[in-house]
Amino acid sequence: MKKILGLIFVTATLLALVACGNGTGEALPEDEITIGVTAGPHEQIIEKVAELAEAEGLTLNVEVFTEYVIPNTALAEGEIDANSYQHKPFLDDFKEDRGLDIVDVATTVNFPMGIYSTAIEDVSELQPGDSVALPNDPTNGARALMLFEDAGLITLAEGVGASATVLDIEENPLDLDFIELEASQIPRQLEELAAAAINTNFAIEHGFVPTQDSIYIEPGDSPWVNLLVVREENKDDPVIEKLIGLYHSDEIKQFIEDTFEGSVVPSW
């Protein structure tokens, strides 16, 4: 009986320790955290932040992802401590769909979405029936549709805004064929399309310079600013405040401006 009770105690202790790693209200350590980012500009920027952090006695481990789902689930499950890769509409939809207890604590940068093509040099050259791609996730899909509307290609139903879908297209004068694809795959399919809306991080990853290579691009004051996101329980932790201060430093702002030349815009 003593052996059985001892086994139960050990098992319960191990379960408690595992739970502590997945968000139970404990503050994050002040000298080392892990942050998830998508490959490309977010990765480059956070690596620079990590250099500044090291000089301040903070080890910033960087976990790089190649898609948009896992960085949020990994954060919620305690595999990472923060992430930097998404804008507010995407975060809000993701939280609602999955019931995750994660929150944004600071803005980071804006990546103006662009329309790209290997076949034409201006959106005015699109022909009737051409195939045009856009991201298949709800928020980036809506953003692309709003970009197409701004470019004069379509008219959306009034007031749909960031909830727009292809079903909300009311006018499509060229009868364009809108094809929804996974965002990271669109650059690889570009040669098979007349044009496509591509997120800046994926565009840069595939060798495009958005301000030079896009045939139409969002204005620099686009509202789709990206965010630093953490678990709700850690939003006021000192290490998160320190991370925000490092990210919002003059050094990082200058690095962004020098490195991306307007393709990535600091929010502060």
The pLDDT tens digits for 175-214 are 999 999 999 999 999 999 999 999 988 998 899 988 899 9
Q: Is residue 61 in some structural domain?
A: yes
Confidence check: pLDDT of 166 > 80: yes
Shared domain for 38 and 72, answered yes or no, is yes
Report the C-alpha gap between 248 and 46 in whole angstroms: 11
The pLDDT tens digits for 124-133 are 999 999 999 9
Q: Is residue 1 in some structural domain?
A: no
> pLDDT category, 5, cuts 50, 70, 90?
very low
Q: Is residue 160 in some structural domain?
A: yes
The pLDDT tens digits for 231-252 are 999 999 999 999 999 999 999 9
CATH code of the domain containing 191: 3.40.190.10
Q: Give me the number of domains the chain comprises.
A: 2
- Among the candidates 217, 234, 255, a domain finishes at 217
From the CA atom positions of the chain, what is the Rg in Å? 21
Shared domain for 84 and 126, answered yes or no, is no
Structure token pair of residue 159: 């007031």
What share of the chain in percent tops pLDDT 70? Answer: 90
Shared domain for 118 and 91, answered yes or no, is no
Shared domain for 210 and 134, answered yes or no, is yes
Q: Is residue 3 in some structural domain?
A: no
Shared domain for 96 and 47, answered yes or no, is yes
Shared domain for 205 and 141, answered yes or no, is yes
Shared domain for 124 and 206, answered yes or no, is yes
Shared domain for 121 and 243, answered yes or no, is no
Shared domain for 118 and 106, answered yes or no, is no
- Of the candidates 194, 96, 200, 83, the one whose C-alpha atom is nearest the C-alpha of residue 140 is 200
> pLDDT category, 19, cuts 50, 70, 90?
very low
**Residue 70 structural domain:** 31-111+224-266
Q: Is residue 207 in some structural domain?
A: yes
- Among the candidates 184, 200, 217, a domain finishes at 217
- Of the candidates 231, 261, 254, 168, the one whose C-alpha atom is nearest the C-alpha of residue 26 is 231
Res 11: pLDDT = 40
Q: Is residue 239 in some structural domain?
A: yes
Residue 110's DSSP bridge partners are 225, 265
Shared domain for 207 and 130, answered yes or no, is yes
- Among the candidates 180, 199, 217, a domain finishes at 217
Shared domain for 151 and 195, answered yes or no, is yes
pTM of this prediction? 0.73
The pLDDT tens digits for 84-116 are 999 998 999 899 999 999 999 999 999 889 999
Q: Is residue 12 in some structural domain?
A: no
From first CA to last CA, the distance across the chain in angstroms is: 63
- Give all strands (DSSP E) within the chain, no chain letters: 32-38, 59-65, 82-87, 102-110, 114-116, 131-135, 155-156, 169-171, 177-181, 195-198, 216-217, 225-231, 265-266
The DSSP code for 262 is T
Shared domain for 100 and 118, answered yes or no, is no
In angstroms, the Cα distances linking 268 to 6, 11, 71, 101, 249 are: 55, 48, 24, 26, 9
Q: Is residue 95 in some structural domain?
A: yes
